[in-house]
């Protein structure tokens, strides 16, 4: 039996199987569904991060407002007028 011919044929078949694997993988990675899934996932992460950031900003704004109110209360003086 000619083992060189068998090896050559096995190499050709392995090359085609490898190419098919690469093509299927590329189609899967760059398919419309996988791109939409990636965009949805990225959008959800951005949305969660924006929610956290806005929550922190609101918290800081509330702290500043409370400080201003407290400072305003400290600066006011109570005046009582008595009629005699």
Residue bearing tokens 């400290």: 74
45: left (phi over 0), alpha (psi -120 to 50) or beta: alpha
Consecutive 10-residue runs of the chain (84 residues): their mean pLDDT? 90 97 92 92 95 96 91 73 72
Cβ-contact 15, 23 below 8 angstroms = no
pLDDT at 84: 63
In whole angstroms, what is the distance from residue 13 CA to residue 16 CA?
5
**Contact residues for 28 (Cβ-Cβ < 8 A; gap 6+):** 34
Residues comprising the chain, all counted: 84
pTM above 0.85, yes or no: no
């Amino acid at each position: 039996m000619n083992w060189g011919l068998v090896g050559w044929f096995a190499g050709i078949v392995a090359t085609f199987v490898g190419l098919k694997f690469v093509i299927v993988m590329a189609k899967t990675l760059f398919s419309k569904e996988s791109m939409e899934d990636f965009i949805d996932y990225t959008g959800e992460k951005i949305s969660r991060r924006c929610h956290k950031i806005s929550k922190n900003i609101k918290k800081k704004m509330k702290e500043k407002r409370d400080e201003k109110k407290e400072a305003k209360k400290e600066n006011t003086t109570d005046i009582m007028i008595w009629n005699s």
